Amino acid sequence: MDTGLTTIPEAAIEKHRATAQSFITRIVVLEDPSRESGTALAGTNRRFVSTVSVGSVRRTREVELSKTVGAVHPDDQLLTIPQHTLLFRARRGTAIALAVSDVFAEGSDLESLQARNTRAPLEGDEASAFKKLLSASAYISAFSLASYLFQLIDSDREAPNDIPEPDFLFDTPQDAVKSILAGLDKAIAGASDDTDLMTRARAFARIAIDGLLARKGRFDGIGPFENAHI
């Protein structure tokens, strides 16, 4: 893969717009309930969550980001400019993130492995390579969405310290962006006004990026894509 920056055609992003719209409307995610016991770390914008697993049970959560954003002004059926901006950024960022994962698939063996896996389940080394590249593609999607939100959400207020990391899921690119959107939904829930909404959203994006960077070493399938884009 070339190490130069890649231009993604608008048509490649538009292809994912309907999916992105459905994601900000309603998704169902699997989350680890033990993560909710995290406590704030003094002097930081992070919360401590134990890395010791106490069980493998995950529970489903229904996420309706559009409704959560709209709840900031429950007496007004129309969205304010900040509310609309956040939802638009979330939808646009999701579509871009999925388009970026397509670029990664095309520039690696993932695209051909996906096609072969569709015809018949892969086995052995090919199955391992497919899983490794698919996880890397998921990581890239999550990083793309978090970075897009952080760069394009404006806020100059001090970030709150009660925002946890998202419960990252790296099975597929769609699972990865869903985990970011679910984390965003949780971060902005109960925002007091538009300023608080945008402050919490931007703080969440920064925390998500930090969490992703801390996990980057797990994804050796990223390869040259990392040097060009991450």
> Could you read off the pLDDT of 154-174 as tens digits, one per residue?
988 887 888 999 999 999 999
Q: What does the pLDDT average to over 19-33?
A: 94
Q: Per-residue pLDDT tens for 79-136?
A: 999 999 999 999 999 999 999 999 999 988 999 998 999 998 999 999 999 999 999 9
pLDDT of residue 4: 46
Exposed, middle or buried, 9 (CB in 10 Å: 0-12/13-18/19+)? exposed
pLDDT of residue 39: 47
pLDDT of residue 228: 59
pLDDT of residue 42: 45
The dihedral through the CA atoms of 204, 206, 210, 213 has a sign that is positive
pLDDT of residue 229: 58
Structure-token match 């072969």, residue found: 116
CB count in 10 Å sphere of residue 230: 15
**Geometric angle at alpha carbon 171, from 183 and 85, rounded to 5°:** 35
Q: pLDDT tier at 28 (50, 70, 90 boundaries)? A: very high
Distance in angstroms (rounded) separating the CA atoms of residues 217 and 115: 27
pLDDT of residue 36: 61
Q: Per-residue pLDDT tens for 196-223?
A: 999 999 999 999 999 999 999 999 888 7
pLDDT of residue 35: 67
Exposed, middle or buried, 37 (CB in 10 Å: 0-12/13-18/19+)? exposed
The full 3-state SS of 161-175, as one line of letters, equals CCCCCCCCCCCCHHH
CB count in 10 Å sphere of residue 54: 10
Q: Where are the domains of the chain?
A: 13-35+59-229
Q: Per-residue pLDDT tens for 30-63?
A: 888 876 644 444 444 444 444 444 455 778 999 9
What is the pTM for the complete model shown? 0.86
pLDDT of residue 226: 67
Task: Give strand ranges (E) for 32-165.
Answer: 39-40, 47-48, 59-63
Q: What does the pLDDT average to over 59-74?
A: 96
Under 8 Å between Cβ of 60 and 30:
yes
Exposed, middle or buried, 98 (CB in 10 Å: 0-12/13-18/19+)? buried
Q: What does the pLDDT average to over 8-35?
A: 93
Question: Mean pLDDT over all residues of the chain?
Answer: 88
The H or E element that residue 4 is part of is: none
pLDDT of residue 44: 47
Distance in angstroms (rounded) separating the CA atoms of residues 208 and 205: 5
